[in-house]
Amino acid sequence: GNSVTQMEGPVTLSEEAFLTINCTYTATGYPSLFWYVQYPGEGLQLLLKATKADDKGSNKGFEATYRKETTSFHLEKGSVQVSDSAVYFCALRGSSASKIIFGSGTRLSIRP
């Protein structure tokens, strides 16, 4: 079945550091891929998405590229801020209108 594996946290970085959170997936067909963010005490928000191979999703300075050859969708940001501290979830939806499969989440903490 479909599954998502993302790097374990917590990840702690200094402000203005470069961020990468790895995400790989297993799926049949052509899934859609997502990154969600959960700020402290809140529900999840969709951060970015990509629906086909080589698509790049981007939002708020974050980017992720759908790489079918490596079945990956790594999240990157060139210069993180304290306000980026949150839990980040990689997720996929199968090629039909199937439910969303979430990764286990990666907690990110940014030091001033």
Residues near another protein (CB under 8 A) = 4, 41-46, 89, 91, 93, 97-105
Q: Would you say 17 or 109 has its CB closer to another protein?
A: 109
Q: How far is the CB of 97 from another protein (least distance, A)?
A: 5
Q: Rounded to the nearest whole angstrom, what is the least distance from the CB of residue 45 to another protein in the complex?
A: 7
Is residue 9 within 8 A of residue 105, CB to CB? The reply is yes
84: left (phi over 0), alpha (psi -120 to 50) or beta: alpha
CB of 14 to another protein, least distance (A): 25
